[in-house]
Amino acid sequence: MITLGVIADTHVPDRARRLHPEVLQVFEKAQVSEILHAGDLSSARILDQLAEIAPVRAVRGNRDMFVRGLPLQLRLQYEQVTIGMTHGHGNWRKYLKEKYLYLIEGPTRFSYFENLVIEIFPDTDVIIFGHSHAPLNKLFDRQLLFNPGSPAIKHIFIPNSRQTVGLLHINGKKVRGEIIPLTDLTL
């Protein structure tokens, strides 16, 4: 059995001053083998903090202009489970289109992100993404779509939303996602 810590949208220091203190506790208690960050770190120091618990792999989000060396996408394999990881904003053209549609249509476009990440990774068992700050642990056809939400920012358009991180539990060909709510804090 492998347990992976999954996190996205930490936004330190652009929208939060620090990493939520419960993140490291959750990952340590779960004895994660590795931590996957789905982008919008905003600062490379987050990678160093997470690496105190386990090795970290990360992708670049739309707010990671100053974090060097991060790919837009990663394809990973743990036991017999394939994972595609991206931030979820696509390229800059898609990102700007999404922002425009958001202004016109409002915050009802969550399926847009799901469709975008499936288009990027049509053949993986799991797709990890962030960007929307909305936690998602949903089986779609044969793929697990997994967004850990954000440990820094509650989604403003989801009633009773929480600050969250995620865990993926892998055993052979089986995978199970878990969204972990954190104590609501102003960071």
Q: What percent of the chain has pLDDT over 90?
A: 70
Collapsed DSSP state (helix, strand, coil) of residue 178: strand
**Domains contained in the chain, number:** 1
The parent domain of residue 139 ranges over 2-181
pLDDT, tens only, 72-130: 999 999 999 999 999 987 666 766 676 676 666 665 545 667 888 999 999 999 999 99
Residue 7 identity (one-letter amino acid): I
Question: For the domain that residue 149 is a member of, what is the CATH number?
Answer: 3.60.21.10
pLDDT at 60: 95
* pLDDT (mean) for 62-67: 87
d(CA 58, CA 29): 21
CA distances from 130 to 11, 38, 80, 85 (A): 12, 6, 23, 9
Residue at 40 is within a domain: yes
User: Tens of pLDDT along 141-173?
Assistant: 899 999 999 999 876 666 678 999 999 999 999
Q: What is the pTM of this model?
A: 0.90
